[in-house]
Structure 1
Amino acid sequence: MKKINVGLLGFGTVGTGVAKILINNKDILHARLGVDLNLKYIADIDTKTDRGIQLEPGILINDAARVIDDPEIDIIVEMIGGQGAAKEFILKAIDKGKHVVTANKALLASQGAEIVKAADKKGVELGYEASVGGCMPIIKSVRESLAGNKINSMTGILNGTCNYILSKITDDGSSFEDALAQAQAKGFAEADPTLDIEGFDTAHKLAVLNALAYGMEINLNDIYIEGISKITPLDIAFAWEFGYKVKLLAIGKYNGNSVEARVHPTMISLDNPLSNVNGSLNAVTISADATGDMMLYGHGAGMMPTGSAVVGDIADIARNIVSGSKNRIPILSYKPDAVKKIPVMPVDEIFTNYYFRFAAADRPGVLSKIAGILGKFNISISSVHQKGREIQGSVPIVMLTHTAKEADVKKALEEIQNLDVVTDKPVLIRIEE
């Protein structure tokens, strides 16, 4: 075999990065694989825009079906995104016996079970390293390097947009709106940033990671999701005073009979390695029984970092083609008959520590009223700051708690909010020690 033909669907930012690596590093890839990776076709509706890459005539076309139907194409790379045409093209490629590589985390999180089942039935490979964490080899690590481990938990910063915004607020004192505008200006955030800042993008990635780590069916619907749009510079400043930073975390924990799966702003200690992951960078910490704690760190998005992860999948599939190996590694890490339906623990059932901020009238006895209600619901206070300065006519009272149950916390905050001395809705941020 002299070459393996690749068909690329989608010539946007990441698709361009994939093409650049396949063309510019062709000799390196040949030296490592023993065959040429030949980019035979690129299909995109826009065949005119200059992407800064020189292509041979006839490579760039506007007909995806022609790429999928070509019997010489061995690997289809889907870089279109979304859940409509992308799913259709992936399933057609699989049906024709072609291996597929994608970075489409939204599609995998919501409809991945169907795609994986189709690939298993047809005996083809599905590569998706770039769907989580950009260039961080988190999927390869879980599927391969940690195959002998029982994974207990994963905690990750998996969205560069949110991390950039929180870093700007923390380090520069920017408002949320200004930090978001800067992220958009730098290309880290979309014009409509909802998927990022409200936590949905992070949840897509957590759904995929949970399936790999715990041998469970992909479950996006039951993940608790809370974004960063309500986080204020005031709370970030108070967090710093207590020795914490605020990060948007994806948290997956295996509890034996269920899995905690939640995405929300979280306070973490300044000595936690994740607290030093700033800007648009991503990181994931994994706790496993044999390895203990480990962390992966790197660029979670961008043309070349994400393109690198895609080409890594292409190279893995190429090696399997050359060696005649088939389904050497299960697509979701576990063999299909070993994948279980493990329930996701309702967020009301979790136990963690909490940060509360109350806006209260500056009167005697306010603190004792609030503390009394917390005690009524078995919530123990570990630290209290009552600031003397007024903010919009109210004094902020800030509390940290010992471990408490989420359901109890919600009941207590609802009762506290109804006190006549409390002037605004209480603020809650969970703490992971």
Structure 2
Amino acid sequence: MAMKVALLGCGVVGAEVVRLLNEQSTELASRIGTPLEIGGIAVRRLGRSRGTGLDPELFTTDAMGLVTRDDIDLVVEVIGGIEPARSLILAAIKSGKSVVTANKALLAEDGATIHAAAREAGVDVYYEASVAGAIPLLRPLRDSLAGDTVHRVMGIVNGTTNFILDRMDTLGAGFAESLEEAQALGYAEADPTADVEGFDAAAKAAILARLAFHTQGVTAADVHREGITDVTAGDIASAKAMGCVVKLLAICQRSADGTSVGVRVHPVMLPREHPLATVNEAYNAVFVEAESAGRLMFYGAGAGGAPTASAVLGDLVAVARNRRASAAAPEGAHDTGLPVHPMGDTITRYHVALDVADRPGVLARVAEIFADNGVSIKNVRQEGFGDDAQLVLVSHQAPDAALTTTVEQLRALDMVRSVASVMRVEAFGGDS
């Protein structure tokens, strides 16, 4: 007997899910042990041409009625946003349906509620497509590394920003020019705010932190977030001079004493020998450091209809198998309760470029401010002379709060005309 699937949303991803379900129906049935059949598709408006080749009778605007129907076994949610997605998912769970979702925003804001409901109902909630598209990442974090201790997860999880920064690095293009190209190619929305200001990556970082550190309380609001709109050609050039490339990274890391976690999204200067530095165009990649497994990297297409639909179908097969075996595998109830520490407590390094007056004593005064805040200087160089003089400094590791205070005090010096650039630097290979 076929399992019936309710699909919420039939946009780019939803249409691809329908196409793949139709084209691979025989193979999917053999993998699951029973056929999958679309029982209904909820859309906002009827009558639009969707090119799915499906019976128009399958389409409905009554999403709540669809997910609570007695004959529906599984629900796939690809409408996005917080509401009505949250209410629909919770209603589906309460009705005994397992759920597959690609909704990163909802999971980042209220994932704990959804997982608690799934545990109570004894059903699955799978969401591989919510982070890094087709890359099989979340289930390895949740299942394959369940017996290990993950220390850090660091990744490029937004293809739009990676495309823009790659163009700025490889072609010398400016931010605005690179953004326009990303929009022309369909990598960026007409309103790119969610991508370029880091909101999209922050939601994904919250999900990664919850899975990696088994702490259920992390939400997008806990993530320190900075976008790439202030990244300049000078930043790109400085990174090149240091043998680095600029990337927008989501970084989730245990504290040194293991009592808290840090979750942040911001641009960094990354050494070119780091595996993430070679990730170009709109691709995604996530680098995981674990106690026993060591360093692992997951790489692939992070967005788009077909890659995202591939991840959705992978989850759909998994939850269908579980349902057929009457053995749901809901998210573990154990919560380490690790709190998220403030960004100021995060240990990092800064690259600072100062436009300065070219006169004796400038470097000594700058170095004194670093020392006063307990920050040591790793290296320093001067570029230009006279009115074009610039000091470029890279610190050793220090608490972010101390580095921020250092920069603010440098801004107040009369010998510093301006702080031309401030960017964090990620070490690799034990460099501090």
Give the TM interval when normalised to the shorter protein.
Answer: over 0.9
- In 1, the alpha carbon distance for the partners of 2:51 and 2:164 equals 30
Correspondences of 1:383-402 after superposition (within 5 Å): 383-388=379-384, 394-402=388-396
- In 2, the alpha carbon distance for the partners of 1:46 and 1:23 equals 23
How far off its partner does 1:343 sit? 1.1
Task: Kindly indicate whether the alpha-carbon contact (under 8 Å) linking 1:207 and 1:218 is maintained by their aligned counterparts in 2.
Answer: no
Correspondences of 1:235-384 after superposition (within 5 Å): 235-255=235-255, 256-327=258-329, 330-331=330-331, 335-336=332-333, 338-384=334-380
- In 1, the alpha carbon distance for the partners of 2:137 and 2:379 equals 37
Aligned to 1:232: 232
When structure 1 is superposed on structure 2, of 186-195 and 99-108 the one drifting more is 186-195
- In 2, the alpha carbon distance for the partners of 1:396 and 1:115 equals 52
SS of the residue corresponding to residue 209 of structure 1 reads helix
- In 1, the alpha carbon distance for the partners of 2:66 and 2:6 equals 6
Task: Kindly indicate whether the alpha-carbon contact (under 8 Å) linking 2:131 and 2:157 is maintained by their aligned counterparts in 1.
Answer: yes
SS of the residue corresponding to residue 267 of structure 1 reads strand
What residue ranges of structure 2 are gaps of 5+ in the alignment?
428-432
> Aligned letter for 2:412?
N
Aligned to 2:430: none
- In 2, the alpha carbon distance for the partners of 1:145 and 1:217 equals 19
> Aligned letter for 2:11?
G
Aligned to 2:417: 423
- In 2, the alpha carbon distance for the partners of 1:346 and 1:401 equals 20
How far off its partner does 1:281 sit? 0.6
1:118 aligns with 2:117: yes
> Aligned letter for 2:317?
A
- In 2, the alpha carbon distance for the partners of 1:389 and 1:366 equals 13
> Aligned letter for 1:302?
G
1:406 aligns with 2:400: yes
- Identity across aligned pairs (percent)? 41
When structure 1 is superposed on structure 2, of 290-299 and 364-373 the one drifting more is 364-373
SS of the residue corresponding to residue 424 of structure 1 reads strand
> Aligned letter for 1:271?
E
Q: Kindly provide the CA deviation profile for residues 215-262 of structure 1, in whole angstroms up to 9, marking residues without a partner as x.
A: 112312222111111111111111011100111111111231011211
> Aligned letter for 1:230?
D
How far off its partner does 1:134 sit? 0.6
SS of the residue corresponding to residue 298 of structure 2 reads strand
> Aligned letter for 2:191?
D
SS of the residue corresponding to residue 416 of structure 2 reads coil
Q: Kindly provide the CA deviation profile for residues 301-350 of structure 1, in whole angstroms up to 9, marking residues without a partner as x.
A: 110100111111110011111222133xx42xxx31x2132111211112
How far off its partner does 1:356 sit? 0.7
Task: Kindly indicate whether the alpha-carbon contact (under 8 Å) linking 1:413 and 1:426 is maintained by their aligned counterparts in 2.
Answer: no
How far off its partner does 1:300 sit? 1.0
SS of the residue corresponding to residue 287 of structure 2 reads strand
SS of the residue corresponding to residue 354 of structure 2 reads strand
Correspondences of 1:164-203 after superposition (within 5 Å): 164-203=163-202
SS of the residue corresponding to residue 163 of structure 1 reads helix
Correspondences of 1:85-96 after superposition (within 5 Å): 85-96=84-95
1:134 aligns with 2:130: no
When structure 1 is superposed on structure 2, of 102-111 and 24-33 the one drifting more is 24-33
SS of the residue corresponding to residue 423 of structure 1 reads strand
Q: Kindly provide the CA deviation profile for residues 173-194 of structure 1, in whole angstroms up to 9, marking residues without a partner as x.
A: 1111111111112221122212
How far off its partner does 1:283 sit? 0.6
Judging changes above 3 Å, is the alpha-carbon distance between structure 1 residues 51 and 279 closer, same or farther for their aligned structure 2 residues?
A: farther
TM-score (norm 1): 0.94
- In 1, the alpha carbon distance for the partners of 2:254 and 2:402 equals 22
Task: Kindly indicate whether the alpha-carbon contact (under 8 Å) linking 2:358 and 2:385 is maintained by their aligned counterparts in 1.
Answer: no
SS of the residue corresponding to residue 313 of structure 1 reads helix
- In 2, the alpha carbon distance for the partners of 1:404 and 1:144 equals 34
What residue ranges of structure 1 are gaps of 5+ in the alignment?
none
When structure 1 is superposed on structure 2, of 381-390 and 158-167 the one drifting more is 381-390
Task: Kindly indicate whether the alpha-carbon contact (under 8 Å) linking 1:210 and 1:218 is maintained by their aligned counterparts in 2.
Answer: no
Task: Give the number of aligned pairs.
Answer: 424
- In 2, the alpha carbon distance for the partners of 1:63 and 1:216 equals 36
How far off its partner does 1:426 sit? 4.8
> Aligned letter for 1:192?
D
When structure 1 is superposed on structure 2, of 52-61 and 158-167 the one drifting more is 52-61
How far off its partner does 1:382 sit? 2.0
Aligned to 1:161: 160
Q: Report the aligned-residue RMSD.
A: 1.6
How far off its partner does 1:406 sit? 1.5
- In 1, the alpha carbon distance for the partners of 2:46 and 2:304 equals 21
Aligned to 1:209: 208
- In 1, the alpha carbon distance for the partners of 2:217 and 2:56 equals 42
Q: Kindly provide the CA deviation profile for residues 237-293 of structure 1, in whole angstroms up to 9, marking residues without a partner as x.
A: 110111001111111112310112111111111110000011111111111122110
> Aligned letter for 1:285?
F
When structure 1 is superposed on structure 2, of 347-356 and 421-430 the one drifting more is 421-430
Q: Kindly provide the CA deviation profile for residues 160-183 of structure 1, in whole angstroms up to 9, marking residues without a partner as x.
A: 111111111111111111111111
Moved over 4 A (4+): none
Task: Kindly indicate whether the alpha-carbon contact (under 8 Å) linking 1:394 and 1:423 is maintained by their aligned counterparts in 2.
Answer: no
TM-score (norm 2): 0.94
SS of the residue corresponding to residue 239 of structure 1 reads helix
Task: Kindly indicate whether the alpha-carbon contact (under 8 Å) linking 2:135 and 2:302 is maintained by their aligned counterparts in 1.
Answer: yes
Aligned to 2:43: 44
